[in-house]
Amino acid sequence: MKMFRLVKEGTRALGARKLRTFFMMLGTIVGITALTVIMAIGAGTEREVMNRVKGFGFRAIIVSAGGGRGPLGPRATTTTLREEDVEAVRDRVSGIEAMSPTAMKVGVSIKRGAAQTNALVFAIEPDWHEAWEWFTSEGAPIEAEDMASLARVCVLGTSVSRELFGEASPIGEYVQIGNVRFLVKGVLESRGTSPVGSDFDNRALVPLTTGLRRLFNQDYLSQIRILVEDPDQLEPIGEQVRKLLRECHHITPPEEDDFRVRTAADVARMVRGVSGTMSTLLTTLAGLSLIVGGIVLMNILLISVNERTAEIGLRRAIGATRRDIFTQFLAESIAITSLGMLIGAGLGFGASTLVGSMTTMKVVISWTPFALGLGFSLMVGLFFGIQPARKAARLSPVQALR
């Protein structure tokens, strides 16, 4: 096919002048590299968001004690979130499926004989299992009777269980949490590690009543998890809860909340925050280098057309039409950007892997940047190749051969 022969003629010149070819490709290489990295980080962030949101729950609202907007969890010293708040929400907000008030302490000592470990201890209501969709894999969960009788029973996470009992079943055995003896009545399903690396299974659950009065000796909560019936009502219900709690806590403007209401959307926003800035930066770089690279490409091609005037004249003399010359030079331009794209995609994959292993940012490598990069480089090659190709095609053979 004639087109194929013309493309081959167009690319023949590239190998001969390697340095010049490299400079013509440079912009595309940098642009596509940046593009590939952006997309890898973007995809990584979205996956992270999905994981975190899934962990958080699509239907969940979490009310934590303590105000402020910091990323840290509830401050143990905040005493304003109370069981009365739970009752108020239960009575006055509709559309709620389950509520789970929790008091929590970190680094509580759990002992069995000589064996000892530190874990998160949660004081919970039976609804906790439902609200977190997290159930026991062995034995029984925390039940209503346990709450009523302030029973000294507990459910262990698998890590705590392994730490204290090895592979043996802990059911029916006793452990000492803080200074209190508890009967182990169940073991939680294993959830592995969180995306930030903490061990979900290093925890113990006790009934809320027992926890508040016998273990922590307090009358305030750390957080309340609310599960709504309709995920679409998440934000309005969250806002209702916030207003109600401000009312209960007698907070008036301009005072700030002494609690925090978070939904899955807030979590997603938080995760996207850092990589969003990074993406904007890299997108700008990618766009700029593709355009600047295109202009450099165009100028070098224009110079090349001047230098190759005699060659163009010869080709016209032996039978090339204007269209043939145009096609040939456009093919050269597109070949350069396509080649630059391949190199850029390769470098981009490498850089993404590096970013993934050397920073906390998550990356996902897929074929999408490859397809997008191909599209972009073809566009740049076409757009910036037209002018030089047109100039070459318009040369008069008589003038060119002189």
Tell me which residues touch another protein (CB under 8 A): 2, 5-6, 9, 12, 16, 310-311, 313-324, 397-398, 401
Which CB atom, from 144 or from 317, has the smaller least distance to another protein? 317
Q: How far is the CB of 307 from another protein (least distance, A)?
A: 11
Q: In the complex with another protein, which residue's Cβ is closer, 251 or 401?
A: 401
Q: Which is nearer to another protein, 9 or 201 (CB)?
A: 9
Nearer to another protein, 168 or 317 (CB): 317
Minimum CB distance to another protein, residue 316 (Å) = 7
For residue 272, give every residue at least 6 positions away whose Cβ sits within 8 Å of its Cβ, in sequence order, or none. Answer: 45, 49
Q: How far is the CB of 47 from another protein (least distance, A)?
A: 50
Smallest distance, Å, CB 294 to another protein? Answer: 27
Q: Are 110 and 206 in contact (CB under 8 A)?
A: no
Do residues 348 and 34 lie in contact, with contact meaning Cβ atoms separated by under 8 Å? Answer: yes
Sign of torsion, CA 60 66 70 75? negative
CB of 385 to another protein, least distance (A): 20
User: Which tokens in the block code for residue 203?
Assistant: 């925890």
In the complex, the smallest distance separating the C-beta of residue 398 from another protein, rounded to whole angstroms, is 5
CB of 1 to another protein, least distance (A): 8
Instruction: Decide whether 125 or 324 has the Cβ nearer to another protein.
Output: 324
Bridge partners for 62 per DSSP: 225, 262
C-beta separation of 80 from 249 below 8 A: yes
In the complex with another protein, the residue whose CB is nearer, 16 or 358, is 16
CB of 306 to another protein, least distance (A): 16
Query: Of 17 and 269, which CB lies nearer to another protein in the complex structure?
Result: 17
Q: Which lies closer to another protein via its Cβ, residue 7 or residue 32?
A: 7
Query: Which residue, 181, 265, 260, is CA-closest to 221?
Result: 260
